[in-house]
């Protein structure tokens, strides 16, 4: 039996929540290994809709759910999300939900700094969710973070507060903000500690024991490879590594544990916030894709930018993350288009005035913004694909489209999702028994 690592192979919002939920029902443990509560996953189970942004999707199925050390945890949001799901009838307790005791905390001054920077950046705005994710990761790397385990030692926190206040008070002064209120911060931490600490565990031990016992572990990535801090459209990226390799470091398991890497790929392309987007459509087709796909962010409610499928970007992200197979989602959104297009390459005019063909996405932001997509056009299909659960249920042209996608991205299709419903899934290759 194989473990499975699920990642987004585009800019996030590919439909990971539904796929992870579908897989979680067959897993023994589900692990979040990076990101924070800026990652929205929507699960539709029967007539119930669950919106998660921090908790692993397995919590809805009762599967052991683990928040790994690679995640930055807002303890107040954690409390609120647990309460919200309990209100929807989901059972949550320290037996089915564990939080890495070495996970860094997102604190109020991280949210403050995130917003202050965005407001002051003018045309250089990155488009963050203003939830303090980036500043929390900065403190982790700067060795001044307050972590989950520190909540059990608040009487000994003064040296860490000295370190973190020395850094943040100087930044706050630059924005004409008062210094951190240490007494208020400590009081808030004492208040939240009682809720968080029962969930705090050495999750690396939990996961290693599960691995030794031959349990199925599902690693749930957040955002997408194109938002990776190293491999994405820098600087318009998130503050963590979103590639599959992070599952090892962000959970406490070695790289051999990641297993089958399932890349979630939307049948067209979307992006939220600022940054380059070669196939973006600012016309009625882009509007139609957005309306039919209900393209609004789960966490922020922001409207997503929409465009045709970009095979160059997806091929690159699959290669970078070692994707074994893809889950193609939202094929039904393309129903009814007379023709559909796929980006198969780029043209880029350099400073020397010479236009060159590219079969990859360049690293420099100016080049990323300057590439012009080269399209391949295919006939569309008038029949519906919504709710299809086998190849026989799909129109011939939709099958040809899916086959062309996997040829261009050089990665086979393992699953096809045809609606938000858990069971509306065509299984081509089972990741758990690869």
Active-site amino acid positions? 13, 41
Q: Are 36 and 106 in contact (CB under 8 A)?
A: yes
Could you write out the DSSP letters of every residue in 243-301? STTHHHHTTT--GGG--EEEEEEESSEEE-SSS--TTB--SHHHHHHHHHTT-B-TTT-
* 3-state secondary structure string across 262-275: EEEEECCEEECCCC
CB atoms within 10 A of CB 23: 26
The torsion angles phi and psi of 167, rounded to 5 degrees, stand at -80, -50
Distance CA 141, CA 344 (A): 38
Q: Are 218 and 118 in contact (CB under 8 A)?
A: no
The torsion angles phi and psi of 340, rounded to 5 degrees, stand at -130, 150
The end-to-end CA distance of the chain, in Å, is 7
Q: Are 236 and 276 in contact (CB under 8 A)?
A: yes
Q: Are 25 and 219 in contact (CB under 8 A)?
A: no
Q: Which two tokens stand for residue 53?
A: 């942004």
């Amino acid at each position: 039996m194989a473990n499975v690592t699920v990642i987004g192979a585009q800019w996030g919002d590919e439909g990971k929540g539904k796929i992870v939920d579908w897989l979680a029902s067959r897993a023994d443990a589900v692990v979040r290994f990076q990101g924070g509560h800026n990652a929205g996953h929507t699960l539709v189970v029967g007539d119930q809709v669950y919106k998660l942004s921090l908790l692993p999707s397995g919590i809805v199925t009762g599967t052991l759910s683990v928040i790994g050390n690679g995640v930055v945890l807002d303890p107040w949001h954690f409390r609120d999300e647990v309460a919200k799901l309990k209100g929807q009838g989901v059972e949550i307790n320290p037996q089915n939900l564990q939080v890495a005791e070495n996970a860094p905390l997102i604190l109020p001054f991280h949210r403050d700094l995130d917003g202050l920077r965005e407001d002051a950046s003018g045309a250089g705005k990155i488009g963050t969710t203003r939830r303090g994710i980036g500043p929390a990761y900065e403190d982790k790397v700067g060795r001044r973070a307050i972590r989950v385990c520190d909540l059990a030692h608040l009487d000994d926190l003064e040296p860490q507060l000295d370190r973190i206040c020395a850094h943040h008070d100087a930044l706050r002064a630059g924005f004409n903000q008062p210094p951190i209120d240490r007494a208020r911060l400590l009081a808030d931490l004492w208040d939240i500690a009682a809720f968080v600490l029962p969930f705090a565990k050495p999750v690396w031990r939990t996961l290693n024991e599960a691995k030794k016992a031959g349990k199925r572990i599902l690693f749930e990535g957040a955002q997408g490879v194109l938002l990776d801090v190293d491999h994405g459209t820098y600087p318009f990226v998130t503050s963590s590594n979103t590639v599959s390799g992070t599952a090892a470091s962000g959970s406490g398991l070695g790289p051999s544990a990641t297993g089958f890497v399932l890349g979630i790929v939307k049948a067209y392309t979307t992006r939220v916030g600022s940054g380059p987007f070669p196939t973006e459509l600012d016309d009625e087709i882009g509007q139609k894709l957005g309306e039919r796909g209900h393209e609004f962010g789960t966490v922020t409610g922001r409207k997503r930018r929409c465009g045709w499928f970009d095979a160059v970007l997806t091929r690159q992200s699959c290669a970078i993350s070692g994707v074994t197979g893809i889950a193609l989602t939202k094929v039904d959104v393309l129903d009814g288009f007379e023709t559909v297009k796929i980006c198969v390459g780029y043209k880029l005019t350099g400073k020397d005035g010479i236009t060159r063909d590219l079969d990859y996405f360049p690293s420099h932001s100016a080049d990323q913004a300057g590439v012009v997509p080269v399209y391949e056009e295919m006939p569309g299909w008038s029949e519906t694909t919504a709710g299809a659960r086998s190849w026989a249920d799909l129109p011939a042209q939709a099958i040809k489209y899916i086959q062309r996608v996997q040829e261009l991205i050089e990665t086979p299709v393992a699953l096809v999702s045809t609606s938000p419903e858990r069971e509306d899934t065509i299984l081509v290759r089972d990741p758990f028994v690869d």
